[in-house]
Amino acid sequence: MKFGVVVNEGPYTHQASDSAYNFTKAALAKGHEIVRVFFYHDGVNNGTRLTVPPSDDRNIQENWSALAKEHELDLVLCIAAAQRRGILDENEAKRQGKDADNVAEGFRISGLGQLIEAGIQADRLVTFGD
């Protein structure tokens, strides 16, 4: 089965991010395909490389990056939601006149069309968070 995954909540403030990660990992382990993971609203905070959790806590951003690398996942941050929260890739930082970028490895910024496309391509679109 093909799944699209939507993450609407940020890491460390809501269970949605952990649940989405665990669901994605389990689906892949069972041989299912993940069409795309789309991070929306506060969910885009999963994609900043500047997250520094305490050493005894899990690093959700690193978990997503490693999973994406291992399974060639498409991790997409909504551009509007990311910009509102100060999350920029190199191109957006230059375009907006900012001197830094902070998108983590394995993530990319794109528009809502990527969410629509995932919904069309997937058999099921699973949403985590409000």
Find the catalytic residue in 27, 34, 37, 78: 78
Which tokens hold the place of 40? Answer: 């929306």
Q: Is 78 a catalytic residue?
A: yes
Q: At a CB cut-off of 8 Å and minimum separation 6, what does 100 contact?
A: 88, 93
In our burial notation (b when 16+ CB lie closer than 10 A, e otherwise), range 97-114 reads eeeeebbbebbebbeeeb
Give the position of tokens 């795309």.
Answer: 36
Residues noted as catalytic: 78
